[in-house]
Copies of this chain bind each other. A is one copy, B any other.
Amino acid sequence: MKKAKIIFQPSGRRGEVPRDITLIEASRLMGVDIESLCGEKKFCGKCKIRVEEGFFEKFGIESSGSHLSAWQEEEEKYINAQEKESGFRLGCVAKVEGDVLIFVPEESRAGKQVVSKKARDIHIDHNPAVKIYYVELTPPTFEEPMGDFERVCGELERDYGLTDLNIYIHCLRQLPVVLRDGDWKVTVSVWMDQEIVRVRPGKAEHAYGLAIDVGTTTVAGYFCDLTTMEVVDTVTLMNPQCKYGEDVMARITFHMTTEDGLERMSDDIIEGLNWLIDEAIKNTHPPKKKKKKGEEGPEEWIEVPEEGKTYLRLSREDIEDITLGGNTAMHHILLKLNPEYVGLAPFPPVIHRSLDIRARDLNININPSSYIFILPNEAGFVGADNVGVLIAEEPYKSDDIQLIIDIGTNGELVFGNKDKMISSSCATGPALEGAQLQFGMRAAPGAIERIKIDPETHEVDYKVIGRDAWRQFSEAKEIKCKGICGSGILDVLADLYRAGVVTKSGAFNKEQKSNRYRKNPGTNTAEFVIAWNEETSIGKDIVITQKDIRQIQLAKGALYAGCKLMMRRMGVDKLTRVKIAGAFGTHVDREKVLIMGLFPDCDTENIVSVGNAAGDGCRAALLNREKRVEANWVARNVEYIELTVERDFQQQFMEALQIPHMKDEFPHLEGLVSPEILQQK
């Protein structure tokens, strides 16, 4: 196999790699992390790197752009002519064809996602669908020559009272060898007390599962130990379908206008889920490094465990259960169910109730006999994701009427209590998740997660993920921020408004004198600088543009109008309790979401943030099978309201774009915003 030398700067990691692999693949072999939100699907443009030209004496290599595979048209979308000139390429496109020295710019360096979609500590009773049982069998004799399967079942009945078990053909095929390999002592995984899904030789103490929340933009997986309920890892991915369109209607349109659109989108998300699974598995092994004085061949890569760290060293087969939620469109597209009619009045889905689908039937690469539990759908676009929110938050057990807002590319709203619940959805777009904004990024180290703007000086203070001190207590060069993530975006509009930088209408106030406000000389559009060049690690100012603000307004307006209409339906004037769920973790500044007008007035004391509740619900269903029954019950017992057919939806939406609303509608804003600002036109 032909090899090439490769050096990654600034980390200095280097070694030999097989030719014809991509730079991202090569970086992985070297232990260098390059950002790839889209899972190397060539559409997030985050893996830009630069190839250096010249002879590097220190390393004894001649590096050249011509040592990479030819420039591809798809790179033009992310790399402009000037960057191309300086040697920029996409790491997921360019392949190694000779020796190269690669510079990975700060903004392309991946940090492990640390906050976003992290699992919250919610109470879940331990009753997983997949449980493991250890049995010791007597080998067959002439007196008792009973078959392998019946022998195992007999013991499971004697020891654990399990009866009438089934087995899937794939698992049955492994049974005779495993029984004999284990010297008739085996660990059996049983699904729902009904079916043997795995048999392992000897005694095993753990089984693992994944709870996956398939969002329109972001996919989050919680990798859980089914025995201890511990969340071993959280893995995320940008939904690879994003390249077909930003929101659910765009995806449905893609299906309707493209011959094999549904198949392509489904295959992409399945491939994405398999990538996520591999990522979860990979993290249970130590990183690999090149041997100093090794032989040829792949064996030259040795594991370098971090000191004091233990590794589970799992394989795909160790994942024995998956629960999966998503809005109705994501649900349908993933399962290759025609999503056309769910997008057309009266919006009937193909199916409401939950499904147990064999992993193999969905081409999902885990233990092949295992099932994927697909949470049920409510109605319209309010799907299995919202059912996840419900079984995590359990409003149907509450006396208080509560509003739960799940912020994603498709916003979902539930309103009610134990007596009645209604739900609806609205197209918010991906802005509030940090996508589509010029400096939007996911919640990884270097992301600005909190923003404060001084109303007097217009000075900006902010906090970056991975660093405890705020900007004002740091040296500029220490900060190294890279972009703004979801929770930062929820802060920024309220403070820009409160500081008078933008007006009620969302336009930049042209009369302000902040030196952070400017016209971008390149694009000639207005922007406001959040972090100066010297504070960033990407070599440029991080700004919020007028276009960014419009995106945020559209999102918040849709939510606000939805809440308003649902309150009317329930005959409720005032919100008493609001829960905010979404991709941006567990911190939300409740005053700021009130100021920006994400929903109607509410006592800030009663606004709480619940993080990725949809994912929590999937995790609850993974670890407690009774939650699956509850999910089906609740999906049938929420009344769905189709907002877009409400008579005055458009008018409500247009009004809701402004920030904030009439003073008399927002008594709780008293004291949060200066009277002059609040009186603005």
Contact = CB atoms under 8 A, between A and B. Distances in A.
A471 interface: no
Interface residues of A, number: 44
A377 interface: yes
A279 to B, nearest CB: 25
B176 A353 contact: no
A338 B172 CA distance: 10
A203 to B, nearest CB: 23
A330 to B, nearest CB: 16
Interface stretch (A111-119, A343-351, A540-548): A343-351
Contacts of A353: 149-150
A376 to B, nearest CB: 10
Interface in A489-518: none
Nearest to A356: B166
Contact of A347 (B145, B173, B349): B145
A169 B266 CA distance: 13
B379 A349 contact: no
A469 interface: no
Contacts of A176: 337-338, 340-341, 350
Nearest to A151: B348
A263 to B, nearest CB: 11
A645 interface: yes
A142 B346 contact: yes
Residue among A169, A346, A380 with max Cβ neighbours from chain B (10 Å): A169
A336 interface: yes
A157 B380 CA distance: 24
A142 B351 contact: no
Nearest to A642: B142
Contacts of A338: 173, 176-177
B142 A350 contact: no
Copies of this chain, complex-wide, total 2
A380 B147 CA distance: 9
A145 B639 CA distance: 11
B142 A645 contact: yes
Interface in A137-185: 140-142, 145-151, 167, 169-170, 172-173, 175-177
Interface in A333-377: 335-338, 340-341, 345-353, 355, 357, 360-362, 377
A150 B335 contact: no
Given A169-B361, A172-B337, A645-B142, A150 B346 contact: no
Nearest to A140: B348
Contacts of A151: 348
Contact of A149 (B148, B352, B362): B352
Nearest to A346: B145
Given A176-B341, A337-B173, A150 B357 contact: no
A146 B351 CA distance: 8
Interface in A195-234: none
B361 A142 contact: no
A150 B337 contact: no
A536 to B, nearest CB: 47
Residue among A350, A352, A361 with max Cβ neighbours from chain B (10 Å): A350
A329 to B, nearest CB: 14
A173 B336 contact: yes
Residue among A145, A347, A380, A642 with max Cβ neighbours from chain B (10 Å): A145
B350 A148 contact: yes
B146 A350 contact: no
B149 A357 contact: no
Contacts of A141: 346
Nearest to A144: B346
Given A142-B642, A345-B142, A169 B340 contact: no
Nearest to A141: B346
Contacts of A147: 348-352, 377, 379
A669 to B, nearest CB: 37
Interface in A624-661: 640, 642, 645
Interface string A11-43: 000000000000000000000000000000000
11 contacts: A140-B346, A142-B642, A145-B640, A147-B348, A149-B353, A167-B351, A169-B335, A169-B355, A173-B335, A175-B350, A176-B341
Given A169-B362, A173-B338, 15 more contacts: A141-B346, A145-B346, A146-B348, A147-B350, A148-B341, A148-B349, A150-B353, A167-B351, A169-B336, A173-B336, A175-B351, A176-B338, A176-B350, A177-B338, A360-B361
Q: Lowest 10 CB-CB distances: which A-B pairs, in order?
A: A149-B351, A145-B346, A140-B348, A147-B349, A176-B338, A142-B346, A147-B352, A148-B350, A145-B348, A140-B346
